[in-house]
């Protein structure tokens, strides 16, 4: 499943555990974020399986805080097509509320569907849409 990570940090979009899109701010520590995100993928999978046959609606798409560790928090979101969005934010950003995270994921999801609508985009490719980049950048600037 492709994954999508966003943090304050980084945003990574996953699909079948394969990263579709990775963006982090600042640019360093990217490897560290990758590690965190990969570990969080396990948590995501666990939550998905826990949901089981639950009706998948948008509310449940948002997985919430996967686990807070040390100085960062990881949030997860999964779409109906099992595309996972993972967002890692610094714990120092205590101003980030749950609703904000939800709205960010919603925006991400919207942008992702826009990318999907592009007939020239082959699902599974890395996302190179400039509009998508712009949206993520603006989101991360807002977070940091």
Partner 1 sequence: MEGLTLSDAEQKYYSDLFSYCDSESTKKVAAHGRVLELFRAAQLPSDVVHQIMELCGATRLGYFGRSQFYIALKLVAVAQSGFPLRVESINTVKDLPLPRFVASKNDQESRHAASYSSDSENQGSYSGVIPPPPGRGQVKKVSTSHDTVQPRTSADQQEPVSPVVSPQQSPPTSPHTWRKHSRHPSGGNSERPLAGPGPFWSPFGEAQSGSSSGDAVWSGHSPPPPQENWVSFADTPPTSTLLTMHPASVQDQTTVRTVASATTANEIRRQSSSYDDPWKITDEQRQYYVNQFKTIQPDLNGFIPGSAAKEFFTKSKLPILELSHIWELSDFDKDGALTLDEFCAAFHLVVARKNGYDLPEKLPESLMPKLIDLEDSADVGDQPGEVGYSGSPAEAPPSKSPSMPSLNQTWPELNQSSEDTAIVHPVPIRMTPSKIHMQEMELKRTGSDHTNPTSPLLVKTSDLSEENKINSSVKFASGNTVDGYSSSDSFTSDPEQIGNNVTRQRSHSGMSPDNTAPPPPPPRPQPSHSRSSSLDMNRTFSVTTGQQQAGVVAQPPAVPPRPQPSQAPGPVVHRPVDADGLITHTSTSPQQIPEQPNFADFSQFEVFAASNVNEEQDDEAEKHPEVLPVEKASDPASSLRVAKTDSKIEEKTAASAPANVSKGTTPLAPPPKPVRRRLKSEDELRPEVDEHTQKTGVLAAVLASQPSIPRSVGKDKKAIQASIRRNKETNTVLARLNSELQQQLKDVLEERISLEVQLEQLRPFSHL
Residues within the interface to partner 1 (CB under 8 A): 57-58, 61, 79, 106, 109-110, 112-114, 117-121, 128-131
Reduced 3-state DSSP string for the chain:
CEEEEEECCEEEEEECCEEEEEEECCCCCHHHHHHHHHHHHHHHHHHHHHHCCCCCCHHHHEEEEEEEECCEEEEEEECCCCEEEEEEEECCCCCCCHHHHHHHHHHHHHHHHHHHHCCCCCCCCCCCCHHHHHHHHHHHHHHC
Minimum gap (Å) between residue 54 Cβ and partner 1: 14
Minimum gap (Å) between residue 80 Cβ and partner 1: 8
Judged by beta carbon, residue 42 or residue 125, the one nearer partner 1 is: 125
Minimum gap (Å) between residue 66 Cβ and partner 1: 20
Minimum gap (Å) between residue 127 Cβ and partner 1: 10
Judged by beta carbon, residue 37 or residue 78, the one nearer partner 1 is: 78
Judged by beta carbon, residue 113 or residue 142, the one nearer partner 1 is: 113
């Amino acid at each position: 499943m492709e994954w999508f990570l966003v943090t304050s940090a980084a945003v990574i979009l996953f699909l079948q555990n394969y990263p579709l899109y990775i963006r982090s701010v600042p640019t360093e520590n990217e490897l560290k974020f990758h590690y965190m995100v990969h570990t969080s993928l396990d948590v995501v999978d666990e939550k998905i399986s826990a949901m089981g046959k639950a009706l998948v609606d948008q509310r449940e798409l948002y997985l919430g805080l996967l686990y807070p560790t040390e100085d960062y928090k990881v949030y997860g979101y999964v779409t109906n097509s099992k595309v996972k969005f993972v967002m890692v934010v610094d714990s120092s950003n205590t101003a980030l509320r749950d609703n904000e995270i939800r709205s960010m994921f919603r925006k991400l999801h919207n942008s992702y569907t826009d990318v999907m609508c592009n007939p020239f985009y082959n699902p599974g490719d890395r996302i190179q849409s400039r509009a998508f980049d712009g949206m993520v950048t603006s989101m991360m600037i807002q977070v940091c």
